[in-house]
Every structure is written in C-alpha cells, then in structure tokens.
Structure 1
Amino acid sequence: MRVLHICESVTGGIATYLNELVPCQIEKYGSDCVHLVVPHSQKEEISIPSQNLTYFDEVNRKSLVTQLRMLVSYQKDVKEFRPTVVHIHSTFAGFWFRLGLFFTLKRPYKVIYCSHGWAFDRECSEKTKKAIIFIEKLLSHKTDRIVCISKHDLQVAKKCGLNQNKLTLVKNTIKEVPVTLAAAEISQDTKNFLFVGRFDKQKGFDLLLEAIAATRSEDFRVYCIGDFVVNNDLKQLEMVSSDKRIIHLGWKPKLEVMQYMKACDALIMPSRWEGFGLVALEALNCGCPVFHSGKGGLSEHLDDCDYYKALSKPVALNLQHLLKYSTKFGLQKIRNNLVENYSNSYSIFDLTESLEKLYK
C-alpha cells in the first residue's frame, strides 16, 4: 500500500484530520509508503516528518496560472511516488486533480476523494449550487470512492444525485487527549469562551462579533484561535484589535488549542455550515462544553444536552444571551457534567481501518 495525500489548503480542520490520520498510516504501512502534497506556506500546520512532505507554491484561486502549476506539482508527485492510492482532500484539489485524469491514458492507482464538506451545501445562489453539483457528478467518473465525513454529508450527496455506489460514510475522529496536558493559564475571574477557526462567514465569526458588540457586559472574555483568511472586513479587524473582551491568539499548534479548551468554560461554534465540525469533538474530549449552530454534521456528535447545546435562531441573539446571562458557576456545573458523562467511542484506529477498506 502506497498512499499519496493531495491537498490544496490544509488550514483548519483538514490539518487536524491529516495530523491525526497520517502518523497512524505511517506506522501501519511504513514511512516510505505515505506521502503528502501541501502548500509551502502552510507547512507549519502539518506536524508530520518533512521526508513525508512535498510542497508547492500557495495557490491564488483567482489565478489560473498558479492553479495549473499546482496540478503540475500533483502530477509530478504521482510520477515520482508511484502510489497505489491517491487520497484527495477538499473541493479545489479534487477539481484540479480529477480534471487532469480526463487527459491521462493510464491510472494504476485508486482515487479516493473527500470534499470535507460539500461546496454545494454552503450558502450560495441556486445557479452556483447547480453548477457545482454538475461538476461533482462529472468528476465522480474519475473517482473510485467518495468519502463523506458525516451522515449529513452523505444525505446531501445522495439528494443531489451523486453515484450512491461510490459514496461511503467515514466519520472523522481524533486521538485521546494526553492525560498530563495542563490547561492554559488564563484568568478565571471572568467567564471564558473560546472560538477556534477561520474568521469568516462559514464559521459565523461575524455573528459572534455581532453578539459581543450588542452586549455591554464586561464579565466575559472570548479567546479567539485563528485568523482572517477569506474576509478582511475593516470593521471586524478594528473590533478584534480594540475590544478588550476579545483575546486574539492567532493560529496555535494542536496541543495549545487543547490547553485553551481545558481552560475555557465553553466553545462557541456559530457556523453557517459544517461538514463535520471536528473542533467540537476536540472540545468535548477536553471537557469543554460546546454551544453550536446545529448546522450540517454538528447535529450528529451528540443529542442536544446541557454540555452540547444547539443555539436557537437567531443565532447572534442567542449568543448575546449566552454571553450576558450565563454565570461562571452555571458553566462550571455544565463542564463537570460533561466530564462525568461523556466518552468518545469512535477512535482514530477505527478511522484508519475504515479508510484501508476503501484503499484495497
């Protein structure tokens, strides 16, 4: 088994996914049998030995030239590594790599594709949605198996008419939290909330800022791990830098993120769409309650309960109520309930085994 992972961008959930999965595959198949192709600018987000990595220049999605260069890099790595399986991650990587296969006579390897959340399941015009579905259907002819990361992901794909014989549910998961991992050192004199992810529309970061702005209370802090990637709204930039209730931490390594999850009273996920929402699972494993939008795969982790609570609509208003009316004592009580009752039964071993069945 020789597995080549193809990526276009890994920032956020895909990096977490690969950092969990690839070390297990290296242990199982051997160091020489697993390789990744990732953007050079994002290499710090991948905690995998450099000998298992190949880099390409970051892609400008508005530049056809840089995207074609990325495709050439993909093809070069396939030729040099000679994989038995090419595992593609995300929509853009899936588009370019599989498009190139229409001009390839021989393909001595399996193609496994995972969108990590369907592009046509996001907020967009009906015309755009139909175009994306058409492209996904077309490219599926050059795909052996399509991995769906949640039941929601699978149901949406079936509803849109993708080949059901190629669709397979392989849920995300994470490793157990190290027992010795200490909580981050932050003040416990206030209610401490946590946001992890890109500061963009998909993650609902604007809804969080709206809720903070509408709340005059000073008895809380929101620790924000991540940064602006797609949207650079000047008002949002100014608020993040000037509001003392917002602690902007930038991107952090996995273990540091988990330390903040251990230290904060709750994680806030106001996402407008989520294929799976891996960060919610990480928070629960760290004993950090989650308040979420209920979108996409977020509704599948657990039934609604006090430590995994779906926010009613409108989300921004309910976030405002959470920030204003929750109490430190009440949040600690919820955390204690989570620690006593929650356990993750789906391991990284299960994920590795499920993918191996598709690879064969």
Structure 2
Amino acid sequence: MKILHITESFGGGVTSAINSYILNSQQHEHYLLASVRKGDTTGEEGQGLFKHRELVPRRLSSLARVRPYIERIGPDVIHLHSTYAGALIRALPFIPAEKIVYTPHGFAFLRGDHPLMLKAYRWVESVLAKRTAVIAGCGLDEQRIAAELIRPEQTLGLVNICDELPAVAAIRSLTGKPVIGMVGRISRQKGHAYFQSVANACADVAHFKWIGGGDPQVMAEMERAGIEVTGWRPRAEVIAHMRGLDLYFHTAAWDGFPISVLEAAKLGLPVVLRRIGPFTAEGLATVSDPHSARQEIIAFANGESASCARARRNSESIQALHRGEQLRAALDDLYTRFAPQEVTSRLAVG
C-alpha cells in the first residue's frame, strides 16, 4: 500500500514520530509532503525510509502543491500529522475522507489559550472529524479524546516509541550539583515558565539545563535566571546532553506523548513529569504544580529514597509500555483497515 504523510510541522518530535512509524511499517511504501518548521530542525529531516519526499515552503500558497502530488502518487492512505495540517488538508474538498488518517500529536484545544479560542478549536475538530476515516492518537489519552469527536471504532492508539539512540559520549555541565534537564522548543506549550519557576526555587540544590532553543529574548532571560540553555543542537548532540543529566523533568502544558520523554526513559534516566493527560492516562507519577515539583526535585536532589524510586519507576513503566512490538501491531491494524479487501468487506456488511 502507498501511505502519504502530510505535515506542516516537520521538525522536532513530529519528525521523530513519523520516522518511527515508517521504520515500523516497512511493508508499505511511504511518501512525505511537508514543510519544515523554522527553528525546530533536529538533523533528522533528511532521514526516514521514504519512497519520495517533497518539502515545500511553510506558507498557505503551498497548499496548491497538495493536489498535484496526490494525483502523481495515488496514495491508498493520507496520514495527516499535527493539528494545522489536520485542519487545512481535511478542509480541502478533493481529499477523499475515506482515505484520511489524522494524528494530532497534541490537540489544539488542550492549549492554555483563551476559553473561547479553545471552544473554537474543539468545534473545528468536531466538524472535521466527519472528514476523517480514523483518528490515530499518540497514546491512550489522545485516543480517549478522539473518541469524544468520532465513533470509538474509528479511533486507534499509536504508542510512540524510541528507536535506537546515537552512541555518543555524555556532555556534562560544569557543576557539582545534580543536573535537571528538559528537551524541547522554548515555548508556552513546553512550559518554559513552569521550568524556570522550579529552577529558581531549587537553585541551591540543583543545576537546571534546557536542551533546545526558541525566542532569543526568552533564552537570555532563562540564562540570567541561572538556567543553562543549549540552543538548538543536532540530534546526536541533544542525546549527548541528555546522557549528562541526572534527572529528566518534563514540564509541557500539553502534549501528545513526547519523544523526549521516551528518549530519557531509554537512556535509563529517572523521570519527573508535570501532570497532563498523556502521563496520567498511563498511571505515571506526576507533579501537579510548581510547588509540588519543587518538593519532588529537592527530595530527589537530597537522595530521598521515595522520590528516587518514583522517578525510576516512571522510566521503567514508560519503557515497558512503549515498545516496538506494540507500535508495529497498531500500525498494521491501522493501515490494514484501508486495504481494498477490507474496504470491500465493510461495504458488504453495511
């Protein structure tokens, strides 16, 4: 079968997730039509086992390239990644709804925006769900939310997994304190203010490092607050910085199931998580606010056994659930739904 992946946010975790889906469903031909999000490149954008890829500028005029590319390839499945691509492509009337798979990688209505904006985002998702064959969420929580928008039998959970990591030496910070780190774009979504608040409160017992980049002014503000900020680095260097951490602290305000958390678990790092749906849905230990996060990190830095055990159990639980075998089975289930014989069978039953 021919699978066409479309996204307007190729870069960061979306790149890793798409490449992982392809690696674990190599019985199909995969194609890519994407725009790269400026500032989110990781060095993986040229990787992936695609039969063909076409990268276009990140502007609305690039929508004119969609129809010719689809007509040239003739895909059996059109797999949309990210909320913006999901909205724009599903709104195009010439895209057959019965071919569309949508993976949000974090629904837009989970953001910390104005309540009216969040209601508008949810309304758009509910309308566009009618133009979707399957919503394949990133994990249990995104599948649960999808079932509120579309019939449950039209949903599926794709557990994100972490593929093999580069074998690189650790890059360690010049400090004698435990190093607490977070990976991602410096943004409201990734909770940089939450991270900074905790870092300020824990500066006496730990050194904080943000592995990633963003707005230069915000980066400078974080550095003035004593946080080490690496800026954007190639993927291998990101992993090297992660290997130099003592604890991974994920502060995103909303997310799918982030690849960086999977990478931290695969590296065997203890993990502390902000309380959001993807983590509570899997029964992981979480911290609800900066105050409880501060208490947990101080306890970890002081070597308190209960805190250390919780952080290590998180890492072990994540590794146990997010396995390649589960992703391969889920992808096989997903794409098989679009095989000609399956479509014929469903029509006959209907």
Fold similarity call, TM over 0.5: yes
Q: TM-score, normalised by structure 2?
A: 0.82
1:239 aligned to 200, 217, 221, which one?
A: 221
Partner of 2:136: 147
CA distance in 1, matches of 2:183, 2:14: 14
Shift of 1:302: 4.8
| 1:23 equivalent in alignment to 2:23 | yes
Partner of 1:273: 254
| 1:164 equivalent in alignment to 2:152 | yes
Q: Secondary structure at the match of 1:9?
A: strand
Partner of 1:133: 122
Mean Cα displacement is larger for which, 114-123 or 206-215? Answer: 206-215
Shift of 1:8: 0.6
Partner of 1:283: 264
CA distance in 1, matches of 2:194, 2:82: 25
Q: Secondary structure at the match of 1:18?
A: helix
Contact 2:209 2:229 in 1 (8 A): yes
Judging changes above 3 Å, is the alpha-carbon distance between structure 1 residues 24 and 52 closer, same or farther for their aligned structure 2 residues?
Answer: farther
Q: Secondary structure at the match of 1:3?
A: strand
Partner of 1:350: 326
Q: Secondary structure at the match of 1:297?
A: helix
CA distance in 2, matches of 1:132, 1:108: 20
Mean Cα displacement is larger for which, 127-136 or 196-205? Answer: 127-136
| 1:316 equivalent in alignment to 2:312 | no
2:273 aligned to 268, 273, 292, which one?
A: 292
Partner of 2:243: 262
Mean Cα displacement is larger for which, 189-198 or 205-214? Answer: 205-214
Query: 1:136-173 CA deviation, whole Å, 9 max, x = no partner?
Result: 222222211111222222333334x4333322222222
Q: Secondary structure at the match of 2:86?
A: helix
Q: Secondary structure at the match of 2:162?
A: coil
Partner of 2:74: 82
Q: Counterparts of 1:108-257 in structure 2 under 5 Å?
A: 110-159=99-148, 161-177=149-165, 182-187=169-174, 189-217=176-204, 219-228=205-214, 232=215, 234=217, 236-243=218-225, 245-257=226-238
CA distance in 1, matches of 2:71, 2:310: 51
Query: 1:307-327 CA deviation, whole Å, 9 max, x = no partner?
Result: xxx114xx2223444555543
Shift of 1:184: 3.0
Mean Cα displacement is larger for which, 262-271 or 49-58? Answer: 49-58
Q: Percent identity, aligned pairs only?
A: 22
Contact 1:98 1:139 in 2 (8 A): yes
Residue type at the aligned position of 1:174: C
CA distance in 2, matches of 1:73, 1:246: 43
Partner of 2:346: none
Residue type at the aligned position of 2:254: W
Partner of 1:7: 7
Query: 1:260-305 CA deviation, whole Å, 9 max, x = no partner?
Result: 333211111122222223322221121111111120102244543x
Partner of 1:54: 54
CA-based RMSD of the aligned residues comes to 3.1
Mean Cα displacement is larger for which, 48-57 or 144-153? Answer: 48-57
Q: TM-score, normalised by structure 1?
A: 0.80
Residue type at the aligned position of 1:318: S
Structure 1 residue runs without a partner (length 5+):
59-65, 305-309
CA distance in 2, matches of 1:165, 1:264: 42
